[in-house]
């Protein structure tokens, strides 16, 4: 899997989504849990410290996730629409450099987040010392809020990603449709030509008994295998592309409300209870987007599903369970198989039936000469 450059993007994207989910728990959920444990002074202090320190890291991870989604979509766009260009400019070192640049940009853009919150000492209801998080003067500054938190954040995190992802994925889908039509035509034309050229007419051929391994049969078998391999490679590439299109569609869907919330905060009333509810719902949707990444991998990627089932089978085996169903599922997809669409997996796994079907007319046509 490491040999495919797109998997480096997917790996880093999965890590960034995991960081978003983890940091969001300690920023939003853990302080709420600590509020119900006022007697536990240590938990209250810990929750406030984690909130202050993980708040900028959460935003940095979210920015990283957004721009890794853009990069993997652009990489797939070049692979589908400009395959010769991507072969010249794409390498493992360049992909790593681009990923590192995206991470550096994400942390640099969110540097002001480190100065938005501060902790102050306070007393609880039980007269014990604790910490409380307050907004800094920078956070409540109107110019800072208008320029950075509204205008820049909307442009960097929503307008630019939405525009790029929409354009790139529309081009990918259009190119895939055109490619599928051309591939079907070429497959039909090549199959007809191969059958017509490989099988002589019944009236002009007399086959002796035991002559199955003749030149015509060998040629037909080689051509059939070549077509099958080319078809499999195309399906693998299309499968990766469709998986990424599904990821981008989920990203656009789950981040749409957060985009509108930024517009409302920029031009509307940001202090109303309804807006607060919308912000909470949009935060939940952003976390759901990060949590659905593994579902997309397992749905569209047979190789990822294969590794996942192997891991689960290993864990259940260590616990003394017998994962018979998982073993059967893993056996269906060998470990060297590349990622492609689930719908095409069964077709490719049963490809030998297609070869036997192509050979059947030859045997039937000359069966009279073997008797």
CATH of the domain at 252: 1.20.1070.10
Confidence (pLDDT) at 150: 84
Q: What is the reported pLDDT for 16?
A: 93
> What pLDDT band is residue 81 in, cutting at 50, 70 and 90?
confident
Instruction: Name which of 189-203, 254-268, 301-315, 331-345 the model is least confident about.
Output: 331-345
* Number of other residues whose CB lies within 10 A of the CB of residue 129: 11
Interval 42-55 mean pLDDT: 88
- Number of independent structural domains in the chain: 1
More confident residue, 341 or 216: 216
pLDDT at 334 over 60: no
Say if 94 falls within a structural domain.
Answer: yes
Residue at 371 is within a domain: no
Mean pLDDT for the stretch of residues 35-55 = 83
Q: Is the pLDDT of residue 56 over 60?
A: yes
Of 57-61, 99-103, 348-352, the one with minimum mean pLDDT is 348-352
The token duo for 334 is 């060998």
Confidence category of residue 160, pLDDT binned at 50, 70, 90 = very high
Q: Does residue 1 fall inside a structural domain?
A: no
| Of residues 78 and 192, more confidently modeled | 78
- Per-residue pLDDT band at 137 (split at 50, 70, 90): very high
Residue 352 has what pLDDT? 44
Lowest mean pLDDT among 152-156, 209-213, 323-327: 209-213
State the average pLDDT over residues 152-156: 90
- 182 within some domain: yes
* Alpha carbon distance 215, 196 (integer Å): 15
In a domain? residue 329: no
Which residue bears the tokens 């902790």? 119
Question: What are the CA-CA distances from residue 253 to residues 166, 263, 310 (Å)?
Answer: 12, 16, 32
**Highest mean pLDDT out of 90-99, 169-178, 269-278:** 90-99
Q: 87 in a domain, yes or no?
A: yes
pLDDT band at residue 55 under the 50/70/90 scheme = very high
Q: What is the pLDDT of residue 129?
A: 75
pLDDT for 144? 92
pLDDT score at 25? 92
Provide the pLDDT for residue 237. 63
Q: Tell me the range of 66-70, 90-94, 353-357 where mean pLDDT is highest.
A: 66-70
pLDDT tens for 218-253 read 555 555 555 555 566 666 666 677 777 787 888 888
Name the residue range of residue 169's domain: 6-198+214-301+339-365
Q: How confident is the model at residue 367 (pLDDT cuts 50, 70, 90)?
A: very low
When pLDDT is cut at 50, 70 and 90, the band that residue 184 belongs to is confident
Please check the confidence at residue 191 and state whether its pLDDT lies above 50. Answer: yes
| pTM for the model | 0.69
143 occurs within a structural domain:
yes
Percentage of residues in the chain having pLDDT higher than 70: 69
Q: Indicate whether 309 belongs to any domain.
A: no
Average pLDDT, the chain: 75
CB 248 within 8 A of CB 162: no
In this prediction, residue 365 has a pLDDT band, given cuts at 50, 70 and 90, of very low
**Is it the case that residue 304 has pLDDT exceeding 80?**
no
Structure-model confidence comparison of residues 371 and 180, the more confident one:
180
Task: Check whether 194 has a pLDDT greater than 70.
Answer: no
């Amino acid at each position: 899997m490491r040999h495919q450059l797109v998997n480096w993007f997917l790996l880093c994207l999965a890590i960034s989504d995991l960081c978003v989910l983890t940091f969001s728990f300690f920023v939003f959920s853990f302080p709420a849990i600590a509020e119900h444990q006022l007697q536990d002074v240590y938990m209250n202090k810990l929750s406030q410290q984690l909130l202050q320190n993980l708040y900028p890291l959460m935003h940095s991870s979210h920015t990283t996730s957004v721009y890794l989604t853009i990069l993997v979509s652009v990489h797939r766009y070049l692979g589908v629409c400009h395959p010769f260009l991507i072969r010249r400019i794409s390498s493992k070192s360049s992909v790593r450099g681009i990923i590192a640049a995206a991470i550096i940009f994400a942390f640099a853009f969110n540097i002001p987040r480190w100065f938005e919150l501060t902790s102050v000492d306070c007393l609880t209801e039980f007269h014990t010392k604790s910490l409380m998080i307050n907004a800094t003067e920078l956070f409540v500054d109107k110019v800072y809020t208008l320029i950075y938190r509204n205008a820049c954040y909307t442009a960097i995190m929503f307008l630019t990603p939405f525009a790029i992802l929409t354009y790139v994925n529309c081009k990918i889908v259009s190119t895939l449709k055109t490619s599928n039509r051309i591939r079907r035509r070429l497959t039909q034309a090549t199959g007809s030509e191969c059958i017509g050229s490989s099988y002589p007419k019944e009236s002009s051929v007399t086959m002796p008994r035991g002559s199955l391994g003749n030149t015509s049969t060998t040629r037909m078998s080689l051509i059939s295998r070549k077509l099958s391999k080319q078809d499999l490679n195309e399906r693998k590439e299309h499968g990766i592309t469709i998986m990424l299109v599904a990821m981008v569609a989920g990203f656009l869907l789950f981040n749409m409300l957060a985009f509108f919330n930024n517009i409302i905060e920029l031009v509307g009333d940001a202090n109303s209870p309804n807006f607060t509810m919308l912000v909470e719902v949009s935060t939940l949707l952003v976390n759901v987007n990060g949590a659905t990444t593994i579902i997309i991998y397992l749905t569209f990627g047979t190789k990822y599903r294969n590794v996942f089932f192997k891991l689960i089978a290993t864990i259940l085996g260590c616990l003394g369970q017998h994962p018979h169903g998982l073993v059967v599922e893993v056996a269906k997809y060998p470990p060297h198989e590349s990622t492609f669409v689930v719908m095409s997996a069964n077709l490719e796994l049963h490809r030998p039936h297609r070869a036997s079907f192509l050979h059947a007319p030859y045997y039937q046509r000359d069966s009279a000469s073997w008797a």
